[in-house]
Each structure stands twice: as C-alpha cells, then as structure tokens.
Structure 1
C-alpha cells in the first residue's frame, strides 16, 4: 500500500502511513505559466494507493487538484484508489436553496466518484449526503481523538463540553463521553423583539473550564457570540475546539480576542492550531474499505 499526499494532506498523510505501515510518497506539484496546476505521481504504481488531500480553501483549486491527482494515480497503475478527503468542499451546499441552483455537493461527489474506488471523509456536514457518492464512502468522526486529547490536557479540572447550538449537541456528547465529563448545548431564548438570551440548556458553567466544540469553525461568529454569553454566566476558562479549522476572515484573532484561551483543531485542514490527528480512525476506515 502506498499513501500519496498532496501539500494539503501531507501531515495527515505521514501519520496515516505510520498507522497503516505504508510508504508515504509526496505528490509533486507545479504550475504552467498560465496558472493551471500540474501534479506528478510515481509512474509505476500498483496495488492499493491512498490519496490524501483536503479540499480546504481555496476550495475550487483544491477540488481540481483532487480530481487530477486521483486520475494520475489510476493512470499510473494503481489497482485500487482510495480517496481520503478529510474536508470536503461544498458540503454545506447539499441541497437546492433557490430554483435553478445545482446541488453543488452532489456534483463534487460525482466528480470524486469518477476517479476513485472508495472515499473516506471526516465529520461531513450532513452524513446522509454520503449517498451522493457512486462508490463506497465512509464518514469517520474526530470525536474520540478530540476526547482523548481533552481528557489528558484537562485532567483534574472541572470540565464541561458544550456545543454552540443544538446541531453540535451530538458531537459534544460523543467528545464528553470519551473524556468522561458532562456536556450540554447552547440555546437561544428570545426575550423581546430585539433581545435574545443565550445559555446552556441544562448545566451551570460558573467557574468551570468550558470547551465549545463544533464540526467546523469558519468565520468564528457563532463561537464569539457563545463566548460572550458564557462569560456573562461566570464561566471560567474558555476553549474552542473543532474538527475543521477553516478560520476565515481573521477568525482566529477574533476568537482569541473574545476570551478563548486557545483553539484546539485536528489535522483535516492545514492550520496553526492543529493538536489532534484523525489518522487513527481514518486508518481503520482505509482497512475496512480496501479490497
């Protein structure tokens, strides 16, 4: 088995190769004078080839890189190509919002399916959209690895794991179960036409170490709003955790300025706050899907 890793997937690729006891081969990358991308893989591949590449911003560019890298692996002899795309571009455009629009994620899924025998991703925005792929596809969770990290880092502290909204409640529950602590999610209560109160649904956070966890942090607006509310309710130290650290529009600066002590992210996307690797669950999925 060979693990081919692009520049967007090389850290995860290295850890994945170690988990699988496989050879890691970085993909060579270049550009034509007009800006079009070039990728090069070893010219004599065989057996199972795992291509690790994240469709992080710039998404369009990284979507093209995924397609041409997968195609290169196939054309150079791979008998089986498994695409490991820990962050999938367009996953939030998983339905038609206005008449005449495409279901963009379905189009992306079809393009990837045409060039791979199987796909593995991590904490997909809507797991049900795996059905858009025409090949076997598996969505793995970062919850266990995040939970292990939190358990070790905050051992002995009065820790609570909170989802910033109801949609993140399940992830918060899974993470909390690993680090054996309590969990909750924030809910909004409208007090008047222009006044909204945000508070944990069940738990008291006063004086406690709070980790806000979500599948992704994009602009950070939800997290900043949550931090403000939790500070008002007497929370102790605040931390932001996520699987996919997009961190667009100076989100990291905004988060740290709003009171978060640190940002805890995985290696699904290259980022400066990466502290947790999703290589273990991805390796298990590769072994499950490999023919």
Structure 2
C-alpha cells in the first residue's frame, strides 16, 4: 500500500498524473455535483477508510471552492481516514495578515483557523508570507512549504540568454534575489505605491539600462496584472527590451494576460500551480517533496 491516497478536487486534474507519480501515490475518486441553487454534493467513490489521504485543491477564486473542500475533509474523517491533509498549490487570503483599519477581518488568521479545524496537515507553494514568519503563524496543524525558486531559475537559465531579474516591489525581493543568485544574473527591485486595486505607481529610475541583458520580471502572483503591466510599460518607455514576465501563481483576473501583452510583455510564463495557457514551469516535484516531509501519524 502506498503512503498517500490522493483525491483531486475540481480544477486540479492537470496535476493528477505527475503529482501521483512523484509521490508514488494512489489516486482516489470523488463524485462532485453542484445543484441549481449552488449547493455542493460530493461522494467518495474510492473509500478513504484506513488511509492517509491528501486532498489536492487549487484555491484560486476560493469562496466557491472552500465549502466542497471542507465537506470532503469532514466526510473523509467520518468514513475512517487515518489522516486528512491538504496539498494546496495556491493558498488564498494571505494578503490580509494584519488589520490595516479598525474592524477589518484578518483573513490569513481566519483561513488558517478554518482549515486547521478540519485537516491534519497542509502543504502549499510560496504563499504570500509578507509579514508572517512561517505557516505556524497561520495554522495550528503541521505545515510544509514548497518553493518555486529552483524550477523558475532552471527555466530562466534554459530559455533566456543573459537575463537581468527585476522585482516590482520590495515584497518580491525574496524571490528575485534567490532566483538571480541561482541564475548568476544581476537583479534590481523597484518601489511600488498602491492607491487601489488597479491604481499602481512604480518608480523606475531615469537612467536604468539593461544593457545587453533580457529583462525578466518576477513576482509571486499575477492577479489583476496591474502591477506587472505598470512595470512593463515603464521599462519599455525607458528604452529597455520588451520584458518577460514570470510568476509563481497565474490567477489572471479581469483580462490580466491580455493587459500584460498589450503593455509590451514579450512573453508571460507561470508555473503549473494553477492551470493556464502560460504554464511552462513544472512544480509538481517541489509540491511532492513538501508533502513527503510531513510526519504522518502512526496507523
């Protein structure tokens, strides 16, 4: 019997075969149905009893996905699963990790409490840990982080001659610096001022020059695309070559991909954490490595 029995929730089918292969895991089957009024139905077709199971769920656009996930976790426990973990290539609600204004919900804390109440462990890929030191600041269950730094750096080294790595803001420096070092490439990080969801200013110094390097903009998430599109335009206006945009999580809300291309991006590349036509970087290996580090309870 393999260590894990994996159940892939809707939207994760692109990860099923490679992740099961990396983990040497079995794949279980769940039937899902949504009623006309939006309520969710699910049924385990492969029994989870007596097994350590992992639910695999891409939690972009999270609100309609969280109820089926929680129902699956609770049902698996009721059916006798030894443990119920979550492999979440994308973890939502981490941007709000403090109350910026009185009365605000601290969503990172609350999503952590909600998932911790119904799961045995969690792994995720490069969540937005801006002011948080680790997953332990969010979850009360064991957690392991997977990182896309090495796969992204490998792709850049294989596909781009003489890259220079750019980060749109100080929050991106942790990824930019590590990727630049792995590629033996120069890097720079700019200053961003956000005035609203689609109102962003990025300070690009007047004399910046990529020389004979190819600009590669790296960030953790492309959501509205406003931040990267703003930087793409600024770099193009400064006379630099059209940049390549690279991100861990490609959410691409509200026509973000088209906006980046219109702004002047030569190419947009993402990992396969979330399915999109820009997927070019495989992260199933690092996701599997994180799951293997989980110390499962004894049977």
TM-score normalised by length of structure 1 = 0.89
TM-fit CA distance, 1:255: 0.2
For residues 33-72 of structure 1, what are the structure 2 equivalents within 5 Å? Answer: 33-45=36-48, 46-57=50-61, 59-72=62-75
**CA separation of 1:229/1:72 partners in 2, compared to 1, >3 Å: closer, same or farther?**
same
Partner of 1:83: 86
Q: Is residue 231 of structure 1 aligned with residue 236 of structure 2?
A: yes
Partner of 2:118: 115
Deviations 1:57-95 (A, max 9, x none): 1x2111212211222322223212221112122111222
SS in 2 for 1:254: helix
- Report which stretch shifted further, 127-136 or 202-211: 202-211
**CA separation of 1:40/1:203 partners in 2, compared to 1, >3 Å: closer, same or farther?**
farther
Structure 1's unaligned 5+ residue stretches are 190-195
SS in 1 for 2:112: helix
Partner of 1:18: 21
Count of residue pairs the alignment pairs up: 282
Q: Is residue 169 of structure 1 aligned with residue 173 of structure 2?
A: yes
SS in 1 for 2:217: strand
TM-fit CA distance, 1:101: 2.3
TM-fit CA distance, 1:226: 0.7
Matches of 1:5 and 1:197, distance apart in 2: 39
Partner of 1:137: 143
Deviations 1:119-171 (A, max 9, x none): 111111114362221101122211111111111112xx121111111211110
Q: Is residue 74 of structure 1 aligned with residue 77 of structure 2?
A: yes
Structure 2's unaligned 5+ residue stretches are 194-200
Matches of 1:188 and 1:176, distance apart in 2: 20
**CA separation of 1:160/1:202 partners in 2, compared to 1, >3 Å: closer, same or farther?**
farther
**CA separation of 1:244/1:202 partners in 2, compared to 1, >3 Å: closer, same or farther?**
farther
Q: Is residue 102 of structure 1 aligned with residue 105 of structure 2?
A: yes
Matches of 1:200 and 1:218, distance apart in 2: 25
Partner of 2:263: 258
- Report which stretch shifted further, 85-94 or 243-252: 85-94
SS in 2 for 1:216: strand
SS in 2 for 1:44: coil
The partner residue of 1:150 within 146, 156, 160 is 156
Partner of 2:197: none
SS in 2 for 1:260: coil
Contact 2:219–2:247, Cα closer than 8 Å, also in 1: yes
SS in 2 for 1:289: coil
Matches of 1:201 and 1:67, distance apart in 2: 51
The partner residue of 2:12 within 5, 9, 33 is 9
**CA separation of 1:200/1:54 partners in 2, compared to 1, >3 Å: closer, same or farther?**
farther
